[in-house]
Amino acid sequence: MSDDTLAPTDGQMRDRRSLLRCAAIAAMVGASAPILAACGGGESTGSAPTTTGSSSGPTSAPTTGGSTGPTSAPTTGGATGKVLGPVSDIPVGGGKVFTDAKVVVTQPTAGQFKGFSAVCTHQGNPIGSVEDGQIICPFHQSHFSIADGSPVSGPAQTALPAVDVAVSGTNVVQSA
């Protein structure tokens, strides 16, 4: 028997390439299951889908102002809350995604900071980046305004929910 064949299991010989090919296909199918589950199916209702392994269902960042949109963060010291990062990390006309907090903070104009949920309203995928004045979800290419979180292009039809943020000293904090 050569190195390219395995012992017969059911009267058939299988060569090493066929076995490796089958194993690779099985691995790809197994690895793609979470990706396919994240994409979901059917129409979006504007709310984030639940994820497996969570008994409490989806969570979202706190929102403010209902449908009126976010307010600018105060730029005075003394704000309390969870520190997201330094103000210097958020460029004017851009923003930064704080993945662990599921918050994206933008600075549409100098000194004006806005916070939004970093969970796309299309199918609940994480926001990936802020580029060219837009908040971008890389999964289905939804783009949102850095000024008010409204959808600019892509399949998302609902604005990103506002999140209370404030400037405390040299840091941006998520307000309680």
Give the whole-angstrom CA distance, residue 162 versus residue 158. Answer: 12
What pLDDT score was predicted for residue 105?
Answer: 98
Q: What is the pLDDT of residues 76-101, one digit of tens each?
A: 455 678 999 999 999 999 999 999 99
According to DSSP, the residues that pair with 106 across neighbouring strands are 95, 114
Non-local (6+) Cβ contacts of 89 within 8 A are 96
Supply φ then ψ for residue 35, to 5 degrees: -65, -45
What pLDDT score was predicted for residue 15?
Answer: 60
Q: By C-alpha distance, which of 47, 42, 67 is closest to 58?
A: 47
pLDDT, mean of residues 23-49 = 44
pLDDT, mean of residues 102-108 = 98
Q: Token pair of 126, please?
A: 């994480």
Q: What is the pLDDT of residues 109-150, one digit of tens each?
A: 999 999 999 999 999 999 999 999 999 999 999 999 999 999
Rama region for 89: left / alpha / beta (φ>0; ψ in -120 to 50; rest): alpha
Comparing 28 with 153, the larger pLDDT belongs to: 153
What pLDDT score was predicted for residue 24?
Answer: 54
Q: Token pair of 100, please?
A: 């662990």
What pLDDT score was predicted for residue 5?
Answer: 46
Question: What's the pLDDT band for 55 if we cut at 50, 70, 90?
Answer: very low
Q: What ranges make up the beta strands (E) of the chain? A: 5-6, 14-15, 81-86, 94-98, 103-109, 112-117, 129-131, 134-137, 142-145, 151-153, 162-163, 165-168, 171-175
